[in-house]
Amino acid sequence: MSGHSKWSTIKHRKAAQDAKRGKVFTKLIKELTIAARLGGSDLEANPRLRTAIANAKSQSMPKDNIDRAIKKGAGELDGAIYEEIIYEGYGPNNVAIIVEVMTDNRNRTIAFVRSSFKKCNGNLGSANSVQYMFDRLGSIMVDKSVIDEDRLTELILEAGAEDINTENPDTFQVITSPSDFDTVRTYLEEMDVEMLNAELIWDPQTRIEIDDSKKAEQVIKLIDLLEDDDDVKSVHSNFDISESVLAELG
């Protein structure tokens, strides 16, 4: 079961700001391309591509952009070939961090990730150095304005989801096992539930709560630096902040 993180409230706000800046499009295009390259352009046979398209549509990406990215991934158009890599390490205050990237230049990306950790007093680790502290889960975000909690709970139980997180003031987070993720997302789609985002996440088994604003800012600086790079798909951490620090950060 995914526990609530106070840090998730800030992350949700940051994601909305990224969407306004248009940075989300670059990462969505990469995901569409990779999904089509790995699983083909047939939506019926490629659940990852279905999810990527749904996420792109939720961000109002034009259909032409979606189609072009899929064709590039399927080899119908020329384009960069992206690979997926996971980097792991420790940030300031011994916070565990997983960085998922999609890149067409491995050397460029590893140099950036390593320098980011070093710049923020962290250390890039080896494979599986922190991954064992996290569980792989499906996460589906739904705006609270489009459906009430009772109805959503009823639907996700029918679909086979594991849990629902209701503590964020703006969104519900539906939690699934990785194997049930596509089934639950597809069911909600069929029931006309508008989703903000659907993805597989790394959920920390335990969290390190930081109750000092300067220490929290050090970790946030590293996460911001990593997330701002176009090659970085997502950043996951076992970092959380206390109520008092949350209030200071606004």
**Alpha carbon 154 to chain centroid distance?**
25
Q: How far is the C-alpha of 221 from the C-alpha of 218, rounded, in Å? A: 5
Q: Helices in the chain by DSSP H: which ranges? A: 6-21, 23-39, 47-58, 63-73, 106-119, 149-159, 181-190, 213-227, 243-249
Decide if pLDDT at 1 tops 90: no
Q: What is the mean pLDDT of residues 183-202?
A: 95
> Under 8 Å CB-to-CB from 29, ≥6 apart: which residues?
65, 69
* pLDDT recorded at residue 9: 58
Q: What would the CATH number be for the domain defined by 6-73?
A: 1.10.10.200
The pLDDT-based confidence of 168 (bands split at 50, 70, 90) is confident
* pLDDT recorded at residue 169: 87
Q: How far is the C-alpha of 60 from the C-alpha of 56, rounded, in Å? A: 7
Residue 182 is classified by DSSP as: H
Location of each CATH 3.30.70.980 domain in the chain:
83-132+206-249, 135-204
* pLDDT recorded at residue 84: 97
pLDDT: is 67 or 12 the higher one?
67
221-235 pLDDT, tens digit per residue, is 999 999 999 999 999
Q: What average pLDDT is seen over the chain?
A: 90
Q: What would the CATH number be for the domain defined by 83-132+206-249?
A: 3.30.70.980
Location of each CATH 1.10.10.200 domain in the chain:
6-73
The pLDDT-based confidence of 190 (bands split at 50, 70, 90) is very high
Decide if pLDDT at 62 tops 60: yes
Q: What is the mean pLDDT of residues 127-143?
A: 96
CATH 3.40.50.10800 fits 135-204, yes or no: no
pLDDT: is 191 or 168 the higher one?
191
